[in-house]
Every structure is written in structure tokens, then in C-alpha cells.
Amino acid sequence: MFIDKVGLFVKSGNGGNGCCAFRREKFVPRGGPSGGTGGKGGDIIIQADRHLKTLLDFQYHHHFRAQKGEHGKGSRQTGKNGDDLILKVPLGTLIKEKEKILADLIKDQQFLLVAKGGKGGRGNASFATATNQAPRYVEEGEKAEEKRLTLELKLIADAGLIGYPNSGKSTLLSRVSKARPKIADYPFTTLEPILGVVQLKEERSFILADIPGLIEGAHKGVGLGDEFLRHIERTRVLIHLVDLSEPEPEKRYFRLRRELELYSPLLLEKPEILAATKMDLPKSRENLKDFRKKVKIKVIPISAVTGEGIKDLTEKTWKEI
């Protein structure tokens, strides 16, 4: 299961209270104050980890609390600090609080301290003065911070495959990489983004993302389109697949371009590679010439079944990246 958005409640640890104590030693009838300071409460830290791919660990566990600091002790002993709590997330995770972006974790081991543990309160030994050599008051530990956060994962890929459902994205990904998405002859086979590594000659490679099929109204959330569009925002290149075996394929192309613009005009500024798919079918051959005239940009005809145009497409993608 691909989990890409979760809500969290986090609370750091309270600081430990200061201690009120006095020295009690043989031959020291009036020992001075000896209460120690409380320990610091644990912090909560969110850290990126390149080995993680989804937010699945947070699907059922939404509340996190760090350890409290221990109270101070006599003999000026400071209480033990509470342990920090580190939450690991995949690269590409946005941390938000009330829609405000706090951090965008895109590098391995990059982290953000989201809730700081409370300071320990001072013990009575800290309050002794020349005029008050036996203070009996102490500080309470500082209270913990608590926050409600949203974690939102945006996949980090070099290129993203976009197109209507059943346009051949999954078949292409399985052809050019070792990824094995579910493939069937009906729309919405791919229900979650899938990443594959495309290996080229001379030790060149890039990461390709198969984004679930988009339909009209995707920018408003139709067919979960807004959830899927989020993942192509980070890609450097968009590979737009159009099934030429369908009637009037140019209309599908322009409709999807419009959906991208309505979601975020910045998506149209990304380099685009247009690939005409299913060229192993006679109808696709018939439509190719007219399609090229109407879209007025370079079209790479491909067939994931026969392998036609695959090398041209991957090399073109590498150049754009």
C-alpha cells in the first residue's frame, strides 16, 4: 500500500522539576541547600531516510510523545535527560503545520526539530545567596511543546509518465525498468505511483515514475487526480503518453495539458516529451500523421510491445534531464 499523506500529533518531553534538598552529613549540622536541577525533556525530530519509500509506518500510529526529563536529586545531582524521539520518513516528505510548510526533506539524513523538550527546573541549590543561604523554593520543569502536523510525500523522480488511464504507462515502465506494475486492459490499473530505474549504456540511469492515470477534472480531485498530480511537481521532465488507437487522440492530449495548467501553471513550464503509444496497432498508424499536424510538437512513436521507439524515448529523456 502506498501511503503519501498522514496527520500526526507530537509532544516533546516535559523538563524535570528542580529538587529541594539539604546536605545531611556527619559533623555538618547546618548543611546548605543541595537540590539539583531537573533533566531536559526529549525532543521530537523528523528525519529523512533514503531506505524508506512510503509513510506506511504512520498509517495506524499518529500520536508520538518523547520521554520526560527526570526530576533533580539531592547532592546537587541533575536529573537524567529524556531520550529524543526520531521519526524516520522518506526523502521528499513535506512537514506542514496548518498548511504552513515547515520543511521539505529532500536529502538523506536531513532533519527538522519539530517539538523541543522542556528545560529542567532549577533546584534550591541554585537559589542560595549571601542573604538567603537556605532557600526552600525550586523551579518546575518547562512544559513540553505539542503540535499537530501533516506529513505529505512527493515522490522524487527524474521523469514522470503522465496520460489518460490505459494509455500504456505501466507497460512502458515494465519495458524500460525492472519495476513490475500491475498491467491489464482496463482503466485505473495503476492505483498508486510506482518508481523504476531506467539503465542506459555508459553507466547512465534515471528514475522514472508511473503516475496513475489522470482524467478530466483531475485538478479538482476527480479520480484522486489532485493526489496524483502532487507527485509530478518534483520531476524534471514530463513524458506525456497518448494512446493513438483511440479516436481523436489530440483532444485527449490537449485536455490533459489543460488539467496540468489548472492544477499548477508551473507544470507547463517543465520540459515535455510527447510519445504516441500502441504503434503496434493498425489504428495508431492511421492516426499518427494527423495527430502530428494537430499537436505541432515533436512526437516519438513507440510500442512497448515491439520495442519500437523505446531507445529514442529513453535517450531523449536523458538529454532533457
Burial of 70 (0-12, 13-18, 19+ CB in 10 A): buried
Contact 259, 298 (CB under 8 A): no
Phi/psi for 313 (5° steps) reads: -65, -45
Binding region: 163-170, 188-192, 210-213, 277-280, 303-305
Binding region for GTP: 163-170, 188-192, 210-213, 277-280, 303-305
Phi/psi for 226 (5° steps) reads: -65, -30
- DSSP secondary structure string for all residues of 3-72: --EEEEEEE-PPPPPP---B--BTTBTT--B-PPPPPPPPPEEEEE-TT--SSGGGSS--EEEPPPPPPP
CA 236/CA 251 separation, integer angstroms: 25
* Residues near 285 by beta carbon (within 8 Å), at least 6 away in sequence: 279
Question: Which three-class secondary structure string do you get for 74-91?
Answer: CCCECCCCCCCEEEEECC
- The gap between the terminal CA atoms of the chain, to the nearest Å, is 29
Amino acid identity, position 147: K
Question: Which three-class secondary structure string do you get for 147-201?
Answer: EEEEEEECCCCCEEEECCCCCCHHHHHHHHCCCCCCCCCCCCCCCCCEEEEEECC
Contact 209, 193 (CB under 8 A): yes
* Residues forming a β-bridge with 96: 101, 150
> At 106, is the secondary structure helix, strand, or coil?
coil
CA angle 159, 242, 203 (to 5 degrees): 30
Binding region for Mg(2+): 170, 190
